[in-house]
Amino acid sequence: MDGISITLQHYLFLAALLFSLGVFGVLVRRNALVVFMSVELMLNASNLTFLAFARDAGMDVGHLPALFVIAVAAAEAAIGLAIIIAVFRSRGTVNVDDIRTMRL
Amino acid sequence: MLALVNPFTDAFPGAPENLANLLWVIVALPLAGAFLCGVLGKFMGRANTNFLACFTVFASFILSCLTLWAVGAQSTQFISPASGVPVRWALWLDLGRWFSAGDFSAHYGFLVDRLTAAMLMVITGIGFLIHLYSTEYMEHDDGYWRYFAYLNLFVAMMLTLVMADNLVLLFVGWEGVGLCSYLLIGFWYRDTEKAWAGRKAFITNRIGDFGFLIGMFLLVLLVGATEQMGRETALGRSNFSDIGRARAWVTAVHDQGPLNLEVLREWALRMPAETAKDRPGMTLGTTITTEGPLKGKTFGQVLTAALLLLLLGAAGKSAQIPLYVWLPDAMAGPTPVSALIHAATMVTAGVYLFCRLSFLLVLSPTAMAWVAMIGALTAIWAALIAFAQDDIKKVLAYSTVSQLGFMFMGVGVGVFWAAALHLVTHACFKACLFLGAGSVMHGNADETDIRRLGGLRKEMPWTWATFAIATLAITGIVPLSGFFSKDAILHGAHTTEVAGYPWVGHTVYWMGLFGALCTAFYMTRLYVLTFEGKRAPDARVPHAHESGFRMVFVLVFLAFLSVVGVVWGIPELVPGPGGRKVALMEGYLAPAMNLADRLASIYDTVTHTESSPWLGFAIAWAVALVGGATAWLVFRSWLPARAGKPLPNYIALFWSWARAKFYVDELYDLLIIRPFTVLSKGLYKIVDAGLIDGVAVGGTAGVLRRVGGWLRYTQTGNAQNYATVMAVGLLISIGVVLTWVLR
């Protein structure tokens, strides 16, 4: 394994890349489902960061937030998908441009 | 009743301390009555309200009689908080501290000496009679519960005024009666003119009250400066040579407060007049050296200023020049109110105030001269206006102003007992006159124009008889009370010399004599036009009807009092202070006026020459007869004989000026009200409407609306836009942190 060794920086760069992709997806894509998947991407990017630091420091405690995030992401996926289905049933679309309920 | 006739009895059967502890009940009863009538009166019904209102005042009257009896006895005394020595012929109840602010404190306490006792008899006695009269007079008015609530409140406030043991509490009563006066003048508030009359009274009184307040503040500063100089300067320490009394006084200044009457009395005792050169220590001529607004002035100057400001307050309440204009308009209220508040009791508050502070007044000859001259001028001025008024109540109102002027004359020349006596007798006969006028109105469909009355003598015999007696009393015909009380004042003025103002006594005497002549003239005119002759052809109702039992009873009783009140004024009747024989009232009030008389004679500020009053009385009697006879001839024979012919020019001119009240209201309107209105309107337009409403309030709203209008476009409702803003913001924050903070 000499020559190329994977260091902490590599993990962090990968995580930053994934996070940026996620942000990009959330901000740009119009399909609510894709926006949702992008959010998952951001969550996983943060998971990766946690685990990378945990491994680098040799402390298992860094795994805890990652487990929490996975749990939260699962819950979010369940509820978020339910909302999207409900919205689709009532409006016939999942295009976020058409769902402007935050303006009075 | 024994105490009423012979005040020198020393036979009060009860323990005076027990009575002193009950003093608060005298005030509390009418106050409770006011509350109950005001809150429950509508549900209790007319009869219950009438009963309750009369009962509370009558119960106060009974207690007042007991206190009158008690203060007639020498054994009735309390220990003065300011000097530690007993004060005789007086009751005192201290209910504890009312409030304190910094060094200043005021107690809630009641003090009844013989002066207060005399006032109590007037307020509760005549007050009860007028309550009784009102039950019939107001029997057709739906606002009866409001009326009796106000009337009871008035009695409570007036009692607070006369019983207060300090000027702060006195001021509460002073303002309270002003409030009730306002409420009752504007009682029929749906009538705009009457509502305005109430406002005029209130505002005019406020001007006076302003003077009263500033005067009180000056007295507070004065006592404070005395206390401080007494402690800190060698000069002041010799005033305080009697260390026990000095300590008591200083303690009282801090505990009871500087405006406590006993504290002020002790101050007057400690502060010799300027003329007492041989006395060591501070005098009224000493310059104040303590820091504060009084520094550099002398004690005497400040005292004079304070008294003149109090005179302004008294002029407001007691309707003296220049603030008398509200009283004639105050006749808009119900007639019993005019009798009780605007003739018998409230308007005498100024006279009471100066009798109460007589020991301060005699220290300042300047203030005395002012009081006397204001009184004399008012007495004549109001009498001249009364000549040509055609409204029966207006004539009586100006007559009240004029008679109050007489009382001020008495106060100003230092015959306080005569002023107080005139106050009492005037309360009786003027209440009788006003209630008689009310009876006339009641029987003539509320007609008040005396040109359209006439000939009531046969139709209203009881009203006629009582009105005639009261007219004779106020005119000053011998066997009636008004004669001796008014002429005690005139005699006092004639024989008194106020230090530094030798002309005041005589000037006031001649002016008073002229005032008495005028009084006789206009009162006889009023009487003749109302009761004599034939009934006017344009009368409102063809036949007048006599009033009912309750009204007539009150009239008769008051007429009776107007006659028997003479007992108090007959000169040289009983042995008095100094071994000479004095009138009953002078002897009775001697303990209350003792200090003033003592100070006046020690410092020679007021000198009374002893002389027999009988010659002066004869002159005054002749003057009254001449005035009355002239009016009788003019209005019974001369004028009817000249019917159709115009009056001589000079009389017609005087008549039209007097009828227009010498244009004083118009003058005030031009000099004060108009500029004030213009100023107010300007202030309203520029400051209120322009700066506050336009710039401050409107400007804030406008700026916010404009900015909000711009920011409105950022609210798209699109979650992604918001998220973008958040992401960009986060990015910038991170950039800032990385670039500048974590560098």
**pLDDT digits 0-9 by tens, B383-409:** 999 998 999 999 999 999 999 999 999
Element (H, E) at B100: strand B91-101
Q: Answer yes or no: are the C-beta atoms of B111 and B94 closer than 8 Å.
A: no
Nearest to A27 among B716, B717, B720 (CB): B720
CA distance B720 to chain A (A): 5
Q: How far apart are CA B99 and CA B172, in angstroms?
A: 13
Flag whether pLDDT at B1 surpasses 50: no
CA distance B721 to chain A (A): 7
Q: Give the residue, B305 or B658, on which the prediction is more confident.
A: B305
Instruction: Name the closest residue on chain B to residue A39, using Cα atoms.
Output: B723
B524: three-class secondary structure by DSSP: helix
* Angle, helices B481-494/B416-443, rounded to nearest 10 degrees: 140
Tell me, yes or no, if B649 comes closer than 8 A to chain A by beta carbon: no
**pLDDT average, residue stretch B554-566:** 91
For β-strands B574-575 and B77-79, DSSP reports them as unpaired
Q: How many CB atoms lie within 10 A of CB B399?
A: 26
Cross-chain Cβ contact B718/A97 below 8 Å: yes
Q: Give the residue, A3 or B243, on which the prediction is more confident.
A: B243
CA distances from B78 to B3, B355, B633 (A): 20, 21, 57
- Angle of CA points B380, B386, B391, to nearest 5°: 165
B724: three-class secondary structure by DSSP: helix
Mean pLDDT of chain B: 89
CA distances from B337 to B138, B187, B318, B393, B462 (A): 11, 10, 16, 12, 21
- Selected for mutation to probe chain A from B711, B720, B724, B728 (highest A CB count within 10 Å) is B720
Cross-chain Cβ contact A102/B723 below 8 Å: no
Cross-chain Cβ contact A26/B723 below 8 Å: yes
Tell me, yes or no, if B724 comes closer than 8 A to chain A by beta carbon: yes
| Euclidean distance between the first and the last CA atom of chain A, given in angstroms as a whole number | 60
Q: Give the residue, B539 or B115, on which the prediction is more confident.
A: B115
B 80-139 residues with CB < 8 A to A: none
The burial class, CB within 10 Å (0-12 / 13-18 / 19+), for B657 is: middle
Res B5: pLDDT: 46
Q: How far apart are CA B186 and CA B188, in angstroms?
A: 5
Res B3: pLDDT: 45
Q: How far apart are CA B348 and CA B351, in angstroms?
A: 5
Res B437: pLDDT: 93
Res A103: pLDDT: 65
Q: Give the residue, B302 or B720, on which the prediction is more confident.
A: B302
Q: How far apart are CA B701 and CA B713, in angstroms?
A: 19
Cross-chain Cβ contact B727/A27 below 8 Å: yes
**pLDDT average, residue stretch B536-540:** 80
| Euclidean distance between the first and the last CA atom of chain B, given in angstroms as a whole number | 103
Q: How far apart are CA B592 and CA B612, in angstroms?
A: 24
Which structural domains are found in chain A, ordered by start? 30-95 (1.10.287.3510)
CA distances from B55 to A53, B148, B684 (A): 94, 12, 50
Give the position of tokens 């699962």.
Answer: A74
Cross-chain Cβ contact B715/A26 below 8 Å: no
Q: How many CB atoms lie within 10 A of CB B61?
A: 22
CA distances from B596 to B125, B428, B469 (A): 28, 27, 35
Tokens of B42: 């509508």
Flag whether pLDDT at B121 surpasses 70: yes
Nearest to B720 among A96, A101, A103 (CB): A96
Name every residue whose Cβ is closer than 8 Å to that of residue B133 and which is 6 or more positions away in sequence. B336, B339, B435, B438, B550, B551, B554, B555
In tens, the pLDDT along B331-347 reads 988 999 999 998 889 99
Q: Answer yes or no: are the C-beta atoms of B321 and B309 closer than 8 Å.
A: no
Range B239-244, long-range pairs (CB < 8 A, 24+ positions): B239/B270, B239/B271, B239/B281, B239/B282, B240/B270, B240/B281, B241/B281, B244/B84
Name every residue whose Cβ is closer than 8 Å to that of residue B264 and which is 6 or more positions away in sequence. B167, B219, B223, B258, B357, B359, B360
DSSP state of B282: -
ipTM for the predicted complex: 0.81
Q: Answer yes or no: are the C-beta atoms of B418 and B488 closer than 8 Å.
A: yes
In tens, the pLDDT along A45-91 reads 999 999 999 988 888 888 999 999 999 999 999 999 999 999 899 88
- Residues B413-445, buried b or exposed e (16+ Cβ, 10 A)? bbbbbbbbbbbbbbbbbbbbbbbbbbbbbbbbe
Q: How far is Cα of residue B228 from the mean position of the Cα atoms in its chain?
A: 33
Tell me, yes or no, if B717 comes closer than 8 A to chain A by beta carbon: yes
**pLDDT average, residue stretch B426-437:** 93
A 15-74 residues with CB < 8 A to B: 23, 26-28, 35
Flag whether pLDDT at B655 surpasses 90: no
In tens, the pLDDT along B155-177 reads 999 999 999 999 999 999 999 99
Give the position of tokens 């009369």.
Answer: B54
Instruction: Name the closest residue on chain B to residue A31, using Cα atoms.
Output: B720
- Residues B22-44, buried b or exposed e (16+ Cβ, 10 A)? bbbebbebbbebbebbbeebeeb
In tens, the pLDDT along B43-57 reads 988 999 999 999 999
Q: Answer yes or no: are the C-beta atoms of B588 and B582 closer than 8 Å.
A: no
Cross-chain Cβ contact B716/A23 below 8 Å: no
The burial class, CB within 10 Å (0-12 / 13-18 / 19+), for B534 is: exposed
Res B651: pLDDT: 83
Domain boundaries defined on chain B: 364-640, 664-741
Q: How many CB atoms lie within 10 A of CB B139?
A: 13
Give the predicted TM-score (pTM) of the model. Answer: 0.83
In tens, the pLDDT along B660-686 reads 888 888 899 899 889 999 999 999 999
Percent share of chain B, pLDDT over 90: 54
CA distance B180 to chain A (A): 57
Chain B CB contacts of A96 under 8 Å are: 718-720
Percent share of chain B, pLDDT over 70: 97
Tell me, yes or no, if B711 comes closer than 8 A to chain A by beta carbon: no
Chain A CB contacts of B731 under 8 Å are: none
In tens, the pLDDT along B344-373 reads 899 999 999 999 999 999 999 999 999 999
Q: How far apart are CA A68 and CA A73, in angstroms?
A: 8
> Which pLDDT band, with edges at 50, 70 and 90, does B277 fall under?
low
Q: Answer yes or no: are the C-beta atoms of B187 and B333 closer than 8 Å.
A: yes
- Selected for mutation to probe chain B from A19, A21, A23, A96 (highest B CB count within 10 Å) is A23
Length of chain B: 743
